[in-house]
């Protein structure tokens, strides 16, 4: 008897058929609408497809899909919250400083990429790093603002740089 | 998916990060600079990651500082961390939070939203009642005693005299012990006071005081004229849509908010008059009722693609 080997694309389509509506449902309860849920579930399967994980070795396909899906969902929330903060900040700019629509979207994309890059850093580390990078504040001033020592600020900066460099590797 | 960096590259990244922090601290000595140069020269990996770090700095330098700071250091980062925790990504304690979200009593801090055709009622932790209409989104932060209407329409009944503030694109509404309804349109927001009173603070122009039965539209340039509405009539909060001799076009534009998919109508139907009260939980039924009472027919390609056409007298 020949042990039939299922080609990978077929395995994915089986995975897709059996779990897509379940995953979409799970996502819909969290994002509150079907469109975003459908997008996110699509993205999840795309990630699974492009991952190194061997589908035939998946013992708990739903647990695996959830792990991937949760990460995407978290990114989704972050993007949405970033966008809201960005639009709010834009709305407060004087009219002559408001960038053109194209610039606005480019800027938002850059901000989203950097937001993802900084994701996972403790709040104060993130803030110290942003003050230094965006406003060019010196360590002494950052230390005063955060009410910590300059040595701590230096440690924060090293931590932030290390984090960003590792994510980018 | 990303592969984990090798431990060697982790070491290199850590070393580079320490060099950067030292340089920027302003305390690096001449000897430090020489040692750094030596470090960069000693391995292609070192120089590679050093260049990466420079690119990283340039990406930040290219940004408008205030805008970037407001976006990247936004106040709801703590909430995002809570969401991640709740999703079980970073840490434990997911279940309680998710249960609180699914059975939404006692909301303290949340982003609430509804899909098209969906409505939600939530009891806030201070006893206030929040209702969301179709396709709406509200952020709640009771630690600051404030809500932000992000999209769509909401109603808020405040029972606590301490009051709550609703933030809108062109101003804010301070709600005392009263009942208000707020809606975002494309070009303005609409504020109605169903009972009690509320204070409106436009971004532009003077503040004003709204009493029961009064409504006003808020635009970028300030508040418009205060008008009156019949606060005793039921509305979306009761799940009905009421038309009192309303042009069909206006009625359908309103109904469309509650229906996923396309709803179109022939222009000659625009000014037919609609009278009646319609239940919002079944918009297909509303369309059938319209077809029964007006000279029009409903053509459905799918549930999500519906066109209303005049009845052809010669057919």
Report pLDDT digits (tens) over B37-49: 999 999 989 999 9
Task: Work out the pLDDT band at B4, boundaries 50, 70, 90.
Answer: low
Query: How far is the CA of B280 from the CAs of B26, B245, B307, in angstroms?
Result: 66, 18, 19
Q: Is residue A12 part of a domain?
A: yes
By the CB < 8 Å criterion, does B116 face chain A?
yes
Q: Is residue B91 part of a domain?
A: no
Query: How far is the CA of B1 from the CAs of A51, A52, B4, B169, B174, in angstroms?
Result: 5, 7, 9, 39, 48
Interface with chain A: mutation pick from B21, B76, B257, highest number of A CBs within 10 Å: B21
Q: Is residue A150 part of a domain?
A: no
B262 lies in the same domain as B177:
no
B167 lies in the same domain as B198:
yes
B224 lies in the same domain as B264:
no
Enter the ipTM.
0.78
B215 lies in the same domain as B249:
no
Total number of domains in chain A: 1
Q: Residue B89: what pLDDT?
A: 40
Q: Are B122 and B155 in contact (CB under 8 A)?
A: no
A87 to chain B: closest CA residue = B71
Cα distance between residue B229 and residue A53, in whole Å: 61
Cβ distance A138 to B63 less than 8 Å, yes or no, reads no
Cα distance between residue B71 and residue B80, in whole Å: 13
Cβ distance A164 to B79 less than 8 Å, yes or no, reads no
A109-165 pLDDT tens trace = 889 889 989 988 998 999 999 999 998 999 999 999 999 999 999 999 999 999 999
Better-predicted residue by pLDDT, B175 or A7: B175
Q: Is residue A27 part of a domain?
A: yes
B132 lies in the same domain as B149:
yes
pTM above 0.80, yes or no: no
Q: Is residue B88 part of a domain?
A: no
Residues contacting residue A53 through CB under 8 Å, at least 6 positions apart: A64, B1
Better-predicted residue by pLDDT, B101 or B117: B117
Q: Is residue B30 part of a domain?
A: yes
Report the CATH number that the domain containing residue B298 is assigned in CATH. 3.55.50.30
State yes or no: pLDDT of A106 exceeds 50: yes
Q: Residue B245: what pLDDT?
A: 85
Q: Is residue B315 part of a domain?
A: no
- Concatenating the DSSP letter of every residue in B188-255 gives -EEEEEEESEEEEEESSS--EEEETTEEEEEETTEE---EE--TTS--GGGTEEEEEEEEHHHHHHHH
Residues contacting residue B202 through CB under 8 Å, at least 6 positions apart: B170, B171, B208, B218, B222, B223
Q: Residue B261: what pLDDT?
A: 79
Which domain, by its residues, includes B158?
Answer: 104-228
Task: Work out the pLDDT band at A52, boundaries 50, 70, 90.
Answer: low
State yes or no: pLDDT of B127 exceeds 60: yes
Q: Are B216 and B201 in contact (CB under 8 A)?
A: no
Q: Are B149 and B181 in contact (CB under 8 A)?
A: no
By the CB < 8 Å criterion, does A155 face chain B?
yes
Which domain, by its residues, includes A70?
Answer: 1-95
B41 lies in the same domain as B149:
no
B49 lies in the same domain as B66:
yes
B154 lies in the same domain as B264:
no
Cβ distance B88 to A70 less than 8 Å, yes or no, reads yes
State yes or no: pLDDT of B179 exceeds 80: yes
Cα distance between residue B76 and residue A101, in whole Å: 25
Considering only A10-19, B84-93, B155-164, B221-230, which range has the smallest mean pLDDT?
Answer: B84-93
Total number of domains in chain B: 3
B144 lies in the same domain as B33:
no
Q: Is residue A103 part of a domain?
A: no
Cα distance between residue B151 and residue B294, in whole Å: 33
Q: Is residue B120 part of a domain?
A: yes
Q: Is residue B23 part of a domain?
A: yes
Nearest CA-CA distance, residue B202 and chain A, Å: 14
Q: Is residue A169 part of a domain?
A: no
**How large is the average pLDDT for residues B274-281?**
81
Beta bridge partners of B198: B175, B210
Q: Is residue A131 part of a domain?
A: no
From B72, B87, B114, the end of a domain falls on B72
State yes or no: pLDDT of B189 exceeds 50: yes
Cα distance between residue A118 and residue B41, in whole Å: 29
Cα distance between residue A96 and residue B233, in whole Å: 45
Considering only A48-52, B120-124, B177-181, which range has the smallest mean pLDDT?
Answer: A48-52
Report the CATH number that the domain containing residue B159 is assigned in CATH. 2.60.120.1440
State yes or no: pLDDT of B13 exceeds 50: yes
From B169, B194, B228, the end of a domain falls on B228
Burial category of B37 from C-beta neighbours within 10 Å (exposed 0-12, middle 13-18, buried 19 and up): exposed
Q: Is residue B245 part of a domain?
A: yes
Q: Residue B276: what pLDDT?
A: 78
State yes or no: pLDDT of A2 exceeds 80: no
From B72, B91, B120, the end of a domain falls on B72
Q: Is residue A90 part of a domain?
A: yes
B129-154 pLDDT tens trace = 888 999 888 988 888 899 999 889 99
Task: Work out the pLDDT band at B2, boundaries 50, 70, 90.
Answer: very low
Kindly list the residues from chain A whose CB atom is less than 8 angstroms away from the CB atom of residue B78: 123
Cα distance between residue A83 and residue B300, in whole Å: 37
Task: In chain B, count H helices and then E strands.
Answer: 8, 20
**How large is the average pLDDT for residues B49-63?**
89
Q: Is residue B98 part of a domain?
A: no
Percent above pLDDT 90 for chain A = 27
B221 lies in the same domain as B250:
no
Report the CATH number that the domain containing residue A17 is assigned in CATH. 1.10.1740
Q: Residue B53: what pLDDT?
A: 92
A136 to chain B: closest CA residue = B61
B60-113 pLDDT tens trace = 988 888 888 888 998 766 655 655 555 544 322 222 222 233 333 334 556 788
Indicate the average pLDDT of chain A: 82
Q: Is residue A30 part of a domain?
A: yes
Cα distance between residue B313 and residue B172, in whole Å: 52
A48 to chain B: closest CA residue = B1
Q: Are A131 and A84 in contact (CB under 8 A)?
A: no
């Amino acid at each position: 008897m020949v042990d039939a080997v299922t080609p990978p694309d077929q395995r994915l389509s089986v995975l897709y058929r059996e779990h897509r509506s379940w995953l979409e449902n799970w996502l819909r309860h969290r994002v509150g609408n079907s469109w975003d849920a459908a997008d996110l579930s699509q993205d999840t399967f795309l990630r699974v497809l492009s991952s190194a994980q061997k589908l035939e070795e998946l013992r708990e396909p739903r647990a695996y899909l959830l792990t991937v899906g949760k990460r995407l969902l978290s990114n989704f929330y972050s993007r949405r919250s970033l966008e809201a903060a960005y639009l709010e900040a834009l709305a407060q700019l004087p009219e002559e400083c408001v960038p053109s629509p194209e610039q606005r979207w480019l800027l938002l994309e850059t901000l989203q990429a950097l937001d993802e890059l900084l994701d996972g850093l403790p709040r104060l580390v993130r803030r110290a790093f942003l003050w230094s990078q965006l406003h060019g504040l010196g360590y002494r001033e950052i230390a005063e603002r955060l009410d910590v020592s300059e040595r701590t600020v230096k440690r924060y900066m090293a931590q932030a740089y290390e984090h960003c460099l590792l994510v980018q590797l | 998916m990303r592969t984990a960096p090798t431990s060697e590259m982790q070491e290199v990244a850590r070393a580079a990060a320490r060099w950067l922090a030292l340089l920027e601290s302003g305390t690096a000595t001449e000897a430090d600079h020489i040692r750094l140069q030596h470090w960069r020269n000693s391995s292609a990996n070192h120089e590679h990651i050093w260049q990466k770090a420079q690119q990283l700095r340039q990406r930040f330098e290219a940004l408008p500082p205030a805008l970037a700071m407001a976006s990247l250091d936004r106040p709801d980062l703590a909430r995002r961390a809570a969401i991640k925790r709740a999703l079980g990504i970073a840490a434990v304690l997911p279940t309680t939070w998710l249960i609180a979200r699914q059975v939404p009593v006692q909301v303290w801090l949340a982003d609430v939203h509804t899909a098209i055709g969906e409505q939600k009622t939530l009891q806030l932790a201070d006893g206030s009642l929040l209702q969301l209409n179709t396709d709406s989104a509200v952020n709640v932060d009771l630690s600051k005693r404030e809500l932000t209407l992000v999209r769509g329409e909401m109603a808020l009944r405040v029972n606590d005299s301490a009051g709550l503030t609703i933030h809108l694109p062109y101003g804010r509404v301070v709600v005392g012990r009263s009942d208000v309804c707020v809606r975002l349109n494309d070009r303005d927001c609409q504020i109605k006071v169903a009972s009690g009173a509320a204070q409106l603070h436009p971004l532009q122009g003077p503040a004003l005081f709204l009493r029961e039965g009064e409504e006003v539209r808020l635009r970028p340039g300030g508040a418009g004229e205060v008008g009156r509405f019949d606060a005793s009539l039921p509305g979306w909060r009761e799940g009905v849509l009421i038309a009192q001799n309303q042009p069909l076009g206006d009625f359908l534009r309103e109904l469309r908010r509650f229906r996923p998919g396309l709803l179109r109508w022939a222009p000659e139907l625009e000014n037919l008059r609609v009278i009646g009260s319609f239940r919002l939980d079944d918009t297909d039924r509303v369309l059938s009722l319209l077809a029964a009472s007006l000279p029009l027919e409903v053509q459905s390609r799918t549930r999500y693609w519906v066109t209303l056409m005049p009845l052809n007298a010669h057919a």
